[in-house]
Amino acid sequence: MTAPTRVLVLNGPNLGRLGSREPDVYGSTSYAGLVAACEKTGVELGFAVEVRETNDEGEMIRWIHDAADARTPVVINPGAFTHYSYGLRDAIAQRTAPLIEVHISNPYAREEFRHTSVVAAVATGTIAGFGIGSYQLALRALADQLAQS
């Protein structure tokens, strides 16, 4: 029996406040609920999912560097870093495994400044607008990507 594939699910600023943060935009699922949903989907797909959250751009960049060095697949919701973090974009460009950008809401249906993602061009793909389900779809997309490689 082979060991499950390690997958990181990384979350940027304010995502640890899910459930209380703007539930009309982000839904009522708590951060703990997000973690549980990702872990459950991961088990179904043969992944060992590790979910992390940070409000620190440098920490997020270090996690991406570590993932690149270890060839670890990533699902990332960069939060606000999506729109301006060229440092994060440059770290993601160094990826050595599939990386899926996710968003709970649809950025294109929101304020204009959210319409630009500086990380999308260096991600394998982007999934947005399906609530917490965006993460589950991203994990399934990772499984498909890994099966093709």
**What domain range includes position 129?**
5-148
Task: For residue 30, name the pLDDT band (cuts at 50, 70, 90).
Answer: confident
Contacts of 131 (CB under 8 A, 6+ apart): 26, 27, 29, 104
Burial group, residue 142, by CB count within 10 angstroms (0-12, 13-18, 19+): buried
Q: Does 11 show up as a binding residue in the annotation?
A: no
- First-last CA distance in the chain: 20
Tell me how many domains the chain contains: 1
The residues assigned a catalytic role are 26, 103
Name which residue leads in pLDDT, 110 or 137.
137
Q: Does 6 show up as a binding residue in the annotation?
A: no
Q: Does 83 show up as a binding residue in the annotation?
A: yes
Task: For residue 17, name the pLDDT band (cuts at 50, 70, 90).
Answer: confident
Tell me the per-residue pLDDT of 62-81, one tens digit each, with 9 for 90 and over.
Answer: 999 999 999 999 999 999 88
The CATH number covering residue 135 comes to: 3.40.50.9100
pTM above 0.85, yes or no: yes
